[in-house]
Amino acid sequence: MLAQELISTIVPVLHPMDTGAKALRLMNEYHLTQLPVVVDNKYLALVEEEDVMDWEDPDQLLETAPNNAFKPAIMEGAHFFEALKLFYDHKLSVLPVVSKDNEYLGLITKDNLLAILAQLNGVKEAGGLLVLEVEPRDYSLSEIARIAESNDVTLLSVNTITNPNTAKLEVLLKTNRQELQGLVATFERFNYSIKYMFSEELEEDLLKKNYDLLMNYISM
């Protein structure tokens, strides 16, 4: 999925002649901590709430304000994972999307990202969640998939992360089945360690877990 497919045009933009007070009002209205400044459809900078709140005069114009050098953006043809990395690196609430000529096309919000993560990780699908713990040298996705298939279980998504305390891999499996006891027994026969099992549809917890896993992976 590309950045241009995630664009939201609902969120308004700021202009150089807008005041800090207007910026804060719009951020509060849209529950964001950043908004882009645009002039003649060209992206100039990203205004941050905490910076504006430090101004002595909230009616100061954006064009006269300091900190106008902060301008994270993503090209329209960039991959979804690059957007994730930028959100993580810069602690963004929004990410402007631009053309090769720096034309402002819209922005990606954190809600956009979470919705796509939910879609990619099968969060909206009914099913259970299983977390395996394996040595990195023993990790085999093909074997894990084969074990699942032998139990008539479909893997809707697979994510991995290295536990910094144990150096082992945690393998998060979202399945299409609520009942996982048979699958667990098979994994244990193959000497897999079962760290967690959730047999209820915990959509929000799963989404947050997958989001954190991706953020940790991208930051490595």
3-state secondary structure of 19: strand
Token pair, residue 58, equals 């909230």
Against a cut of 0.75, is the pTM above it?
no
What pLDDT was estimated at residue 137?
94
- Tokens (6 digits) for 215: 């953020």
Average pLDDT, the chain: 88
E strands present in the chain: 34-39, 42-48, 74-75, 94-98, 104-109, 129-134, 155-162, 169-175, 193-198
Q: Domains plus CATH for the chain?
A: 3-118 (3.10.580.10), 125-218 (3.30.70.260)
Question: Are residues 80 and 4 in contact, defined by beta-carbon separation less than 8 angstroms?
Answer: no
> What are the DSSP calls for 65-123, one per residue?
-S-TT----EETTSBHHHHHHHHHHHT-SEEEEE-TT-BEEEEEEHHHHHHHHHHHTTT
The whole-number average pLDDT for the span 134-156 is 95
Low-confidence winner among 21-35, 55-69, 101-115, 178-192 (lowest mean pLDDT): 55-69
Q: Is the dihedral of CA 62, 64, 68, 74 positive or negative?
A: positive
Structure tokens at 1: 């999925």
Cα 26 versus chain centre, distance = 23
* pLDDT tens, residue by residue, 155-198: 998 989 898 889 999 999 999 988 889 999 999 999 999 998 88
Tell whether the model's pLDDT for residue 210 goes beyond 80.
Answer: no
φ, ψ of residue 108 in degrees (nearest 5): -105, 130
CA pair distance 178, 188, nearest whole angstrom:
18
CB atoms within 10 A of CB 172: 20
Question: What are the respective helix, strand and coil percentages of the chain, to the nearest 5?
Answer: 40, 25, 35
User: What type of residue is 202?
Assistant: L
